[in-house]
Amino acid sequence: MNKKDKIYVAGHTGMVGSAIVRRLMELGYHNFIFSTSKETDLRKQDAVFGFFENEKPDVVFLAAAKVGGIFANNTYRAEFLYDNLMIESNIIHASYLSGVQKLLFLGSSCIYPRLAPQPIKEEYLLTGLLESTNEPYAIAKIAGIKLCDAYRAQYGCNFISAMPTNLYGPNDNYDLTGSHVLPALIRKFHEAKKNNVNEVVLWGTGTPLREFMHVDDLADACYFLINNFNEPGFVNVGTQVEISILNLAYLIKDIVGFEGEIVYDRTKPDGMPRKLMDVSKLTTMGWHSSIPLEAGIRNVYNQLNTQDWF
């Protein structure tokens, strides 16, 4: 990728897309193509094909997706499957038709079987049953990987895929019915402290183990991969550091300064019992994450206190 390339970041206003734009701008890239969801509905084939025909991007970062936490995934199952299938199918096919030089598709660690061996290697894909609460989203992301590989095999397209672990950072979703666990906990503890509430409710048992990565780390990994990875299959992107949901809650409680109690709502699902990515494929290529979890969360919360993100 060079500075003259026309770069299209699909989903540039979201957490991942905006982080990619920030990182590229820091590195001196400014030849971007932007289009909001109101301007181009990525679920509609004619709109996407027309956009690509007019703009003819050289490089595409496919970060657009319908995303959410356990509640949203499990409640809006048809939307999560349909919307994500349409978005990725339209963009990948339009990229082929318009002669895009390189495309990076971003998936999710939820593509792996619920009981996959840990840490999770790329080859564990499709070796077992998925976690039922996010199965529609996972199926859509698996389809995106296979689309990239199929277009590479049949048409010679340089389309690659990366599977990031759980993310957090600027422009995250803090809606309690649709967000992921880390931003949801930040909001719960923040509002409990602000409103002098004595307790914060933690969904599930608190025992699941998760890995969390600052989205700026992912953006840096995306830049690395767009310049260094040119193979079928996909690459895990993560920190390979895990923490229980309960310990995450205590960490955020301390960062926010909440002095009340944590109580459990065991009627809510836990999701996968453990989800730790094996990132040896990426580290062997030469990339490593650099933002520690506590420092990353503190930075996010400090920004939240100066901006109206809630």
For 106-119, what is each residue's pLDDT tens digit? 999 999 999 999 99
The sign one gets for the Cα dihedral 43, 46, 49, 54 is negative
**Tens digit of pLDDT for each residue in 288-303?**
999 999 999 999 999 9
- The CATH code of the domain that includes 109 is 3.40.50.720
Consult the annotation and say whether 244 binds a ligand.
no
**Crossing angle (nearest 10°) for helices 293-304 and 245-256:** 50
Is the pLDDT reported for residue 308 higher than 70?
no
**137 in catalytic set:** yes
Full residue range of the structural domain in which residue 103 is found: 7-172+212-239+276-291
Is the pLDDT reported for residue 279 higher than 90?
yes
Consult the annotation and say whether 5 binds a ligand.
no
Mean pLDDT of 198-215: 95
Q: Catalytic: which of 96, 137, 151, 223? A: 137
Give a yes or no: residue 31 inside a domain.
yes
Q: How confident is the model at residue 207 (pLDDT cuts 50, 70, 90)?
A: very high
Consult the annotation and say whether 188 binds a ligand.
yes
User: What distance in Å separates the CA atoms of residue 184 and residue 149, rounded to the nearest whole number?
Assistant: 35
φ, ψ dihedrals at 191, nearest 5°: -70, -35
Consult the annotation and say whether 109 binds a ligand.
yes
Give a yes or no: residue 12 inside a domain.
yes
**Crossing angle (nearest 10°) for helices 15-26 and 215-228:** 60
Consult the annotation and say whether 166 binds a ligand.
yes
The tally of domains found in the chain comes to 1
Give a yes or no: residue 135 inside a domain.
yes
Instruction: Give the model's pLDDT for residue 1.
Output: 92
User: What distance in Å separates the CA atoms of residue 188 and residue 194, rounded to the nearest whole number?
Assistant: 10
Question: Are 279 and 238 spatial neighbours (Cβ–Cβ below 8 Å)?
Answer: yes
Mean pLDDT of 40-47: 98
Give a yes or no: residue 254 inside a domain.
no
Q: How confident is the model at residue 306 (pLDDT cuts 50, 70, 90)?
A: confident
Is the pLDDT reported for residue 309 higher than 90?
no
Give a yes or no: residue 146 inside a domain.
yes
Consult the annotation and say whether 149 binds a ligand.
no
Is the pLDDT reported for residue 307 higher than 80?
no
Give a yes or no: residue 298 inside a domain.
no
User: What distance in Å separates the CA atoms of residue 261 and residue 282, rounded to the nearest whole number?
Assistant: 40
Consult the annotation and say whether 269 binds a ligand.
no
Is the pLDDT reported for residue 178 higher than 80?
no
Mean pLDDT of 274-287: 96
Question: Are 303 and 310 spatial neighbours (Cβ–Cβ below 8 Å)?
Answer: no
Give a yes or no: residue 17 inside a domain.
yes
Consult the annotation and say whether 281 binds a ligand.
no
Mean pLDDT of 110-132: 95
Phi-psi region of 169 (alpha: psi -120 to 50; beta: other; left: phi over 0): left
Instruction: Give the model's pLDDT for residue 25.
Output: 98
Q: Scanning the structure block, which residue is given the tokens 């503890």?
A: 189
Q: How confident is the model at residue 177 (pLDDT cuts 50, 70, 90)?
A: confident
Q: For all residues of the chain together, what is the average pLDDT?
A: 95
User: What distance in Å separates the CA atoms of residue 89 and residue 140, rounded to the nearest whole number?
Assistant: 10
**Tens digit of pLDDT for each residue in 217-273?**
999 999 999 999 999 999 999 999 999 999 999 999 999 999 999 999 999 888 878
Q: Which has the closest alpha carbon to 217: 283, 274, 264, 161?
A: 283
Give a yes or no: residue 304 inside a domain.
no
User: What distance in Å separates the CA atoms of residue 286 and residue 227, rounded to the nearest whole number?
Assistant: 12
**Tens digit of pLDDT for each residue in 64-93?**
999 887 788 889 999 999 999 999 999 999
Instruction: Give the model's pLDDT for residue 310.
Output: 58
